[in-house]
Amino acid sequence: MEAPQQPTVQSLLERLKDPGAVNDLEAWEQERRRFGFERPIPTPPPPHPEPKAPSFKKAPHEDDPPYEVTLSMIDRLLGRGAKKRQSALRRFEKARKAWDEDRLNALAVYEMASKRYVEKHDALETAYQAAMTEWKKAFAAFLQAGDRPAT
């Protein structure tokens, strides 16, 4: 069985021109060491957690126990049913409005966090790609200069 052939300087220079060629960092690390290039390969940005989507408690409903109207016999006789219904409706509307505001606030916070996440991710990726491009140029210049023979 034949040993795998080592890439030549010319084939490495061709691969360095390809923007997507430096995806296998381990292979490039081997080549860097084989040729004695001192500059380390830039490390990709570490993954950072995406913002967690908000979760909401159940929305209040008119039929929920705090908003139900239970009329006693005396309430019916004295005609207090309409007043109790209005009071329960006001409590429900107040609770629903508070729930809607909490939901909208949580969604706004999540949207801002998502936007910051994307901006940070894009900035880290752009910086990494720029560092890789610079490294590829330096490695190509090192290879072309031929200061050290391949081992």
Condensed to tens digits (0 to 9), the pLDDT of residues 61-83 reads 888 888 888 878 887 777 787 88
The whole-angstrom separation of Cα 148 and Cα 145 is: 8
Burial of 150 (0-12, 13-18, 19+ CB in 10 A): middle
Whether 94 has a pLDDT exceeding 50, the answer reads yes
CB-facing half-sphere around the CA of 143: CA atoms within 13 A:
22
Say what the pLDDT of residue 6 is. 55
Q: How far is CA 59 from the centre of its chain?
A: 28
Which of 20-29, 32-41, 94-103, 120-129 is the least confident region? 20-29
Say what the pLDDT of residue 68 is. 83
- SS3 sequence, 57-109? CCCCCCCCHHHCCCCCHHHHHHCCHHHHHHHHHHHHHHHHHHHHHHHHHHHHH
**pLDDT mean across residues, the chain:** 81
Whether 5 has a pLDDT exceeding 60, the answer reads no
Say what the pLDDT of residue 19 is. 57
Say what the pLDDT of residue 18 is. 64
Say what the pLDDT of residue 2 is. 46
- C-alpha separations of 132 from 20, 38, 45, 57, 112 in Å: 10, 15, 12, 46, 30
Whether 113 has a pLDDT exceeding 90, the answer reads yes
The whole-angstrom separation of Cα 44 and Cα 52 is: 23
Say what the pLDDT of residue 42 is. 86
Give this prediction's pTM: 0.65
Higher pLDDT, 20 or 53: 53
Whether 4 has a pLDDT exceeding 60, the answer reads no
Do 135 and 41 touch, CB atoms closer than 8 A?
yes
Ordered by start, the domain boundaries in the chain are: 9-145
Whether 90 has a pLDDT exceeding 50, the answer reads yes
What average pLDDT does range 14-42 have in this prediction?
A: 72
